[in-house]
Amino acid sequence: MKIAYYKVNTKKKSKLFMLFGIGISVIAIIWAAIFFFPVSERPEKSFFQLEDDRPMVIAHQGGEHLAPSNTLVAFDQAVNLGVDAIEFDIHMTKDGHLVAIHDPTVDRTTDGKGKVNDMTLEEVIALDAGYYFNDLNGEYSFRGLGIRIPTIDEIFTHFSNTRMVIEIKDSNRPELYESIVDELWTKINQYDVQDNVLVASFNQDIIEMFIDKAGDEVAISGGRSEIKRFVIFHKLLLNSLYSPKVDAIQIPIQEGNFNLKDKKLIRGAHARGMDVHYWTINDRTTMEKIIELGADGIITDRPDIALDLLGE
């Protein structure tokens, strides 16, 4: 049996190695360009500018554990405590008014029942918004005191000089989204609070509607899909390919398998010109951790704890 010998073309082999080396070099250069490409940051909005370098304390629903949520009483108490911003949620009534309430129904927080979208303003404001609030002592200390669900007009009138995070709830009926965006933008301009609001929603479609309406005139927080897009680009080390339309992301410390309580993630957001706010943080230990990591904001039901911690 004869053994066949094949002569390798050394010139061809060298050429293949050379082409392979060039390919690897090109890929490395492209990756390095992407990774180290200088980022042009979004200009920081007035909303985010604090006098000192510390996280913003944002009273979630006015401080939901301290007073009836989304009420003028809660907002007043939060402002008196010294918070940097109040946060509230908006739904639209049947007759087109924006009111501050977290749920799509009035059932959980008031003595009434029904969907906000199906009720008139007169019906909504007739309810006791302190009825079910249970204070830190386990008492219904705000029941029967005449506390109402406030309108956006009342909030803007009383707190025009206070920072406000306004979440447009996607639990409103989808056919109302555009009307809500239009009405909110009208009210923001009417009360001249452009510099003092951060508009948010979990639904990125709502955010896009608001951006189309307001442009770059107010601070915007990204919706779920925008946040997911940023996190994926960040994890793949492709931050420079991510170009946000928003000024902030508001995130939990954990989302599924993703640990979002991450210094590198915060730095990555900063590199793209975005602030990072964490929700809803109510214990001192977690607050200490995210402050240490460099978070820009703490959204909390217990603003008293956050302010006490930052005051040490």
Give the pLDDT band of residue 312 (cuts 50, 70, 90).
Answer: confident
CB contact at 8 A, 62 and 52: no
Rounded to an integer, what is the distance from CA 79 to the centroid of its chain? 20
Tell me the H-state helices in 120-198: 121-125, 152-158, 177-190
Q: Taking 60 as the threshold, does the pLDDT of residue 42 lie above it?
A: no
**Cα 123 to Cα 121: distance, rounded to the nearest angstrom:** 5
The pLDDT mean for the chain works out to 91
pLDDT at 9: 58
Q: Where are the domains of the chain?
A: 47-310
Mean pLDDT for the stretch of residues 48-56: 93
Give the pLDDT band of residue 24 (cuts 50, 70, 90).
Answer: low
Q: Taking 50 as the threshold, does the pLDDT of residue 139 lie above it?
A: yes
Give how far Cα 2 sits from Cα of 5, 260, Å: 9, 66
Q: Taking 70 as the threshold, does the pLDDT of residue 31 lie above it?
A: no
Q: Taking 50 as the threshold, does the pLDDT of residue 116 lie above it?
A: yes
Beta bridge mates, 157: none
Q: Taking 70 as the threshold, does the pLDDT of residue 189 lie above it?
A: yes
Do the strands 85-92 and 98-100 form a parallel or antiparallel pair, or are they unpaired?
Answer: antiparallel
Q: Which fold does the domain 47-310 belong to in CATH?
A: TIM Barrel (3.20.20)
Element (H, E) at 235: helix 224-235
Cβ atoms within 10 Å of 123's Cβ, excluding its own: 16
Least confident stretch, 79-83, 163-167, 204-208, 241-245: 241-245
Annotated catalytic residue, options 91, 97, 102, 234: 102
pLDDT at 40: 47
pLDDT at 44: 78
pLDDT at 215: 95
Mean pLDDT for the stretch of residues 178-187: 99
Give the pLDDT band of residue 33 (cuts 50, 70, 90).
Answer: very low
Annotated catalytic residue, options 60, 65, 97, 234: 60
pLDDT at 16: 58
Predicted structure pTM score: 0.87
**Is 91 tagged catalytic?**
no
DSSP-derived 3-state class of residue 149: coil
**Is 102 tagged catalytic?**
yes
Q: Taking 90 as the threshold, does the pLDDT of residue 62 lie above it?
A: yes
Q: Taking 90 as the threshold, does the pLDDT of residue 34 lie above it?
A: no
pLDDT at 19: 59
